[in-house]
A = this chain, B = another copy of it.
Amino acid sequence: MATQTKPVLHGYFRSSCSWRVRIAFALKGIEYDQVAVNLIKDGGQQLTEQYKTLNPMQQVPAVEIDGVTLSQSLAVIQYIDETRPGPRLLPADPKARAQVRMISDLIASGIQPLQNLSVLQKIGAEKLPWAQHFINRGFQALEPILKQTAGKYCVGDEISMADICLVPQVYNAERFKVDVGQYPTIKRLNETLAEIEAFKLSHPSRQPDTPAVLQA
């Protein structure tokens, strides 16, 4: 059976999109192997011809699973959810599912791509205010949405793909010195989620490719 082979995650410890996939695997209790793709070293290992066959976008993550290679973290997470047992990563109710996807896409399309490494490299010297602008714009929209949808977690009281997207984005916000305290709902949810084992195990400070100086 194809699922007896462990999935392989090609990722980078600090990539928020790789972290999303690590959280999903951890929540589902799925064992997987990691192959490090260092986005900085050698000018960026994601740019090699070899990696390009795994993900033609030359970004992380790429996941080999069940005989196929998938990229785009939300596609991977939903594939895992639809094919593996364990806690649901999207709720059963269609409206709640739509809210989970809306929040996930607000982050995955509305914030993350604009503060991605390749974009910031193109922006150059102004990259910090650029990243702060787009993270703040996204969080200003996310805060009132989460005020309406959140219970204990982003949508109601069950952990979902929305939470999987939120925590790595808050981590990025902090790296770019955004004051997350301006967004009390985001801050509260992030603090709650940070205590959960699946989010801790998958944290950038605890990966096989985390440099010693950044290890937790």
List residues of chain A with CB under 8 Å of any chain B CB. Answer: 55-59, 66, 68, 70-72, 74-76, 78-79, 82-83, 94-95, 97-99, 101-102, 104-106, 108-110, 112-114, 119, 122, 130, 133, 137-138, 140-145
Pick from B75, B97, B142: contact of A82, CB under 8 Å: B97
What CA separation (Å) do A133 and B76 show in the bound complex? 26
Pick from B58, B75, B112: contact of A101, CB under 8 Å: B75
CB neighbours (8 Å) of A101 from chain B are 72, 74-75, 78-79
Known: A109-B108, A113-B109, A113-B113. A70 touches B56 (CB 8 A): no
Known: A106-B72, A113-B109, A114-B119. A79 touches B98 (CB 8 A): yes
CB neighbours (8 Å) of A71 from chain B are 102, 106
Are B102 and A56 in contact, CB atoms less than 8 angstroms apart?
no
